[in-house]
Each structure stands twice: as C-alpha cells, then as structure tokens.
Structure 1
Amino acid sequence: MNFTKFPRRNYLQGPTPIEPMPALSKVLGKDVNLYIKRDDLLPGAGGGNKTRKLEFCMADALEKKANAIITCGAVQSNHARLTASWSAKEGLDCHLVLEERVKGSYKTDASGNNFLFELLGVKSITVVAGGSDMMAEMGKKADELTAAGQKPYIIPGGASNTIGATGYAACAEEMMTQLNDMRLKINHIVVPSGSAGTHAGMVVGMTGVNGNIPISGVNVSRAKNVQEDIVYKLAVDTAERLDIKGGVKREDIVCFDQYVGPGYSIPTDAMVEAVKLFAKNEAILLDPVYSGKTAAGLIDIVRKGHFSKGSNVLFLHTGGSPALYAYMDTFRQ
C-alpha cells in the first residue's frame, strides 16, 4: 500500500508495542494465548487510536488552509479529546459538538475527558440531544465560523471517513511487520467497532498486505447487521481510495453485538469485570465505553470456546482511559 500520495502529519513515534498477556490468559484458563496491540500508548493528550486517523485528517485540513477544526462525539468522547489535542499542537481553534446520548449525562464540571477539553483550550462546546443529525449540527457551526471570517474544517465523529480509516490501514501494515519480525503467528484479531473507522481500516489494511488474519469487531452501540453494513461500506470506499485490487469481501466484516448492554456508554457488569481483570492481571487500563466493552466481548468468547485451543488472539487496545475518571462510582459500587 502506498500512503505517500496522501498528506500526513508525523504524530506517531514509531510502532506501538505488541505484548503478551500471560497472566490474563492463565486466569481465563482456556488454553488461548492473548496478546495486545497498545494503541493506548499513542501520542496525544491521554493517548488512543484517533491519533492514527488524525495524522491524515489534520494534514488534509492544513492542506486546505483551515484555521478551525470542528468535530463531534459523545459527552466523554476520546476522539474529541484527541482532536482538541492535535488542534492545540497545530495552533488551530477547536470546536466540539457533543451528543448527549444519555439524557442528562453532560455536566460542565465533569471529570474525565470533559475536564481535558477545558485544559486543551477548546474554543466552544455545543451540546445537542441524542439522535441529532451530527453532520448538520457541525454544518451550523461551520456556517457560523465562516460568517465570522474563519475557514473551518469538519472531521466526522471518530474521524471515521476514508481519510481517517486510512490511518488504520497503515496500522495493519505496521502490525504485520511487527508480527513477522517477532515470528509471532496470530490466529485472530479482535477490535472495537463503533464509528467504524478503526474496524474498516484494519480489514482494508489486512487485505492490502495479504495478512489473511480474520478480524472480529465487538460493537459498542449498534445491532450486528446495522454495524456490519456501516463497516463494510466504509471498508469498500477506503479500499478504493488505496487502490487495493479486488477490494474487501462482505464476509470479512464480522461483528459481535451481545456486549453493548442497555446502550452506548452505559456501563455493564461484564465491562466492569473486564476493566478490573486487565488492571489487576496485566496493569493495563481500559476505558468504560470502547476498549472495556470490547474486552468484555473478548473474555466472553474465549470462555465460551470460540477460539480453538492453542490459538494466539490479538486484542487491539484503542485507549480512552481518561474516561475512567468520569465513571468512578460505577467501579466503586
């Protein structure tokens, strides 16, 4: 795959580690060897997967001479935090449109990412009701900024368009280089599946390098059929952008939707258990919305014997631990 034809910032500081998780593997007791790709260690204020996507999105914004960035997310959005982070580094104004997916969940004095938006100098925060048309809401802010003489650039939620997903196609290539260097055979990869850019990009990248490693997404919000269709469409468009011959196949997009619980960002007992298991056994912090629910799915399907004995399974940790501090009561119950 040739990424040199796209504008790209140099936010990464080399590959993120791939580490074994022997203690957690032993606790689960199913003769499945768990590994983790530590994208929680990516640069940016608090780390996380969106830095890979923003390398491409922010470069596109700068090439278009933008001086203000607009993006959206939930009230504790990791993507919003990292967009604010890289906007600050680039000297660009950052404006956030936050969707209150759980009524009453936005609090101006909240901890977690909410507090970090303040520290990172976000210029404005607009809170809209759950179910709002987020592109339309960001369009309103763009019109307002344009009328004030600024040149805004809109990054969609999760930076999950073909530009952002390109960052995870590049991640798949990075991962395969690491696995080859480590002489480590991975039988399956498990990733979070939310706004779809990470999941789609990984499938596209794995196709592009002929990695032939199956990838499963664990949904954090939508039903299986809906999520798979969203991921597939973005994967097809991203593969076309990268000139990948043959594109991606529909059967390559697989999601598990049993671990969403009552809804996006709403805690589940399985998520709490997963966060505690990772912390106590591997000293790895997950987040309560994405990596926590994805880890809950990983743990459950391992326990149910989904993977054959002796399998090596790689978990993609997308970061987000700053959000933990907004959920302290959940973990202390």
Structure 2
Amino acid sequence: MNLSQFPRRRYTEGQTPLEFLPRLTQELGGPNIWIKRDDLLGLAGGGNKTRKLEFLVADALAQGADTLITCGAVQSNHCRLTLAAACKEGLRCYLVLEERVPGSYNAKASGNNFLFQLMGVAGITVVPGGSDLMEAMEKVAADVRNQGGNPYIIPGGGSNAVGTMGYVACAEEILAQAFDKELTIDCVVCTSGSGGTHAGLAVGFWGNNTGIPVVGINISRPNATQRPLIYKDAKATAERLGLDFPEEFVECVEGYVGPGYSLPTKEMVEAVELMARTEAILLDPVYTGKTFSGLIGLIRQGQFKKGQNVVFVHTGGSPALYHYKDYFEQ
C-alpha cells in the first residue's frame, strides 16, 4: 500500500514503543501480552487521535483552512488533541461537546476540560446527548465563515476515510517493529469506539496480507450498530487505497460497556488498577480501561492459548483519568 500519496503532517518523532509486558502476562496466566504505546504519541498528552490528525490537518491545510472544528464528549481526548494540533499549526479551534451523561459538563472541571482552557480554545458549544453533532458543527462553521474565516470540520474521533489512514499507517509500523523483534503476532486488540482506530488497523493488517485478526472491544455500542460502523469506515478507507475490504474481517466484542459510555464498571476498575500495579502504565476509564477489561475477559474465557502473542493497542486518554478519580476510591 502506498500511503505516501496522501498529504501528512508529523506530530511524533519516530515510532511509539512495542513492549512486552512480563509481569502482566504472568499475572493473567494466558498469552504473551504486548502493548503498542500510542499513549506516547506527540501533542498534548498523546493518544490515538494524533495519528488521525496527521492526515486530517494536512488535508485542512491543503484546503487553506484557518480554523478547525470538531466534537466529542465532555472529556473528549479527540477534542484535546485537535485543539493541540491547531495550536501547533497556528489555527483556531472550536469544540462542540456532547453531554452524553446529563449534567456532566463543568467548565471548571479537571482533566481535558482544564486543558481546553489552558490551550486557548476559541469557543465551546455544549449540546445535549443525542444531538445532531454535524448540524451543531455546521452552525459553528457558518459563524466562522461570517467572520471571514475558512473552517474545516473534523468528525467525532477523527473517524473518516482521511483520519483512518493514520491507523493503516500504524498497522504498517507495528509490522515493521514485529519484524525487527522477530515477533509473530497472533492477534491485535484495540478499542472500538468512533471506529477509525479499529477500521484503520483492520485495513492495514488485511491490506498487507498478514492474516492477523484485529479484535475491537466495544466501549459505547452493541455489535448490531458497531460492526456496520466499523465496516463502513474500513470500506471507505480501503477504497482510497484501491482495495475492496471484506466485511467478515470486522470483529467486535460486546459486553464490556456496562451501564453506558464513560460510566464505570468493576471490570474496568480492576483492569486499570492491574495495569498500573504490574507495569506502571496508566489506562483511562472511558476507553482503554474498558478495552483492557475486555481483553482480560477473553483471556479468562480461554480465547487465547499460552505462547500466543497478543498486541494490545494503548490508545491513550490518561489526561482524563484525573477527572474520574472518584471511580477508584474504595
């Protein structure tokens, strides 16, 4: 696959580590667990959206944009990183925040809400859960145009055929690292949320004829809606590369969302604490904590054999962890 045909900004120096986790592997007694440390990507606090923004912001700059507009939940890592990319490029950034949990927005909250202010967000619009976020962003874009600006709208999570290219590139990066380490990968496990990370990895590993399955752990939706979402994004991304992506390569696992998006589960708390206490790596409660709880569940169900190599993709989010500290108080 020729990714060099697409414009790209670079916000990270070199590759993120691909590490073996010996103490965690021993503790769980299952397969060999490796971790792709995309929590160490560039921009403010890192995380998976940095890879997507390398392609999205390059596209925005090619179109002469001077303003980025995006959306997310009230503690959105994607919004934090979009704002960070705007700062890096000298652009303005407006955010539309969705109260997926009623009454959850607090302008003075810690975590990402604090970072929005610290980095000088141009404006924040808060909308109720279930709102038409594209419509809300279009209204902001109209205001920007009326003021003489040239806005560029980035969908939630940066998950479209442009942004998803970031995780096609990540799949190729993992393959190169595995080759250097003489590592045979049996499975890759990632968060399945807005879809770009899951879809991009699936396209990347499938498009390179690896046969490596990519398992997405749902953190917000059941399979009935999540699988079609991932397939739609993967298909559109593959088409940009001249490929026809097969629907059967999309694998989603449900059962770890709990009472709802961003709401705690005992399995998530166990997963976050286990990772911190065995490997000193921080997960977040909304995304990676629930994703890792899903991987633990699959291991305990016997889905993987001893000696197999499973790569867990750490998509970041730890700056939001401090906002959710009450979830971990005994």
1:185 aligned partner, one-letter code: T
Matched with 1:75 is 74
Please, which moves more after superposition, 83-92 or 1-10?
1-10
> How does the TM-score come out when normalised to structure 1?
0.98
Matches within 5 A, 1:229-248: 229-244=228-243, 247-248=244-245
Gaps of 5+ in 2: none
Matches within 5 A, 1:163-242: 163-242=162-241
2:215 aligned partner, one-letter code: S
1:25 aligned partner, one-letter code: T
Matched with 1:330 is 327
For residues 207 and 250 of structure 2, the distance between their equivalents in structure 1, rounded to whole angstroms, comes to 15
1:183 aligned partner, one-letter code: E
For residues 202 and 251 of structure 2, the distance between their equivalents in structure 1, rounded to whole angstroms, comes to 10
Matched with 1:124 is 123
1:286 to 283, 287, 307: 283
Deviation, 1:308, is: 2.0
Matched with 1:5 is 5
For residues 7 and 312 of structure 1, the distance between their equivalents in structure 2, rounded to whole angstroms, comes to 34
Matches within 5 A, 1:72-111: 72-111=71-110
* Contact 1:203-1:248 at 8 Å conserved across structures: no
1:78 aligned partner, one-letter code: N
For residues 220 and 332 of structure 1, the distance between their equivalents in structure 2, rounded to whole angstroms, comes to 22
For residues 272 and 210 of structure 2, the distance between their equivalents in structure 1, rounded to whole angstroms, comes to 30
**Aligned-CA RMSD value:** 0.8
Structure 1 position 21 matched with structure 2 position 21: yes
SS of the equivalent of 2:172 reads helix
For residues 199 and 117 of structure 2, the distance between their equivalents in structure 1, rounded to whole angstroms, comes to 31
1:85 aligned partner, one-letter code: A
2:260 to 239, 263, 268: 263
Matched with 2:112 is 113
Gaps of 5+ in 1: none
Deviation, 1:309, is: 2.5
SS of the equivalent of 2:4 reads coil
SS of the equivalent of 2:312 reads strand
1:56 aligned partner, one-letter code: F
Deviation, 1:243, is: 1.5
2:269 aligned partner, one-letter code: V
2:297 to 278, 296, 300: 300
SS of the equivalent of 1:144 reads helix
Paired-residue identity, %: 59
For residues 207 and 172 of structure 2, the distance between their equivalents in structure 1, rounded to whole angstroms, comes to 8
Structure 1 position 318 matched with structure 2 position 315: yes
Matched with 2:160 is 161
Matched with 1:250 is 247
For residues 39 and 96 of structure 1, the distance between their equivalents in structure 2, rounded to whole angstroms, comes to 23
* Contact 1:68-1:94 at 8 Å conserved across structures: yes
Structure 1 position 59 matched with structure 2 position 50: no
Matched with 1:38 is 37
SS of the equivalent of 1:4 reads helix
Deviation, 1:10, is: 1.6
* Contact 1:79-1:159 at 8 Å conserved across structures: yes
Query: Deviations along 1:71-96, whole A, 9 cap, x unmatched?
Result: 00000000000001010010000000
For residues 210 and 300 of structure 1, the distance between their equivalents in structure 2, rounded to whole angstroms, comes to 28
> How does the TM-score come out when normalised to structure 2?
0.99
For residues 156 and 59 of structure 1, the distance between their equivalents in structure 2, rounded to whole angstroms, comes to 15
Deviation, 1:19, is: 0.4
* Contact 1:167-1:201 at 8 Å conserved across structures: yes
For residues 324 and 12 of structure 1, the distance between their equivalents in structure 2, rounded to whole angstroms, comes to 22
SS of the equivalent of 1:106 reads coil
Q: How many residues align?
A: 330
1:233 aligned partner, one-letter code: K
For residues 44 and 211 of structure 1, the distance between their equivalents in structure 2, rounded to whole angstroms, comes to 31
Misfit runs of 4+, over 3 Å: none
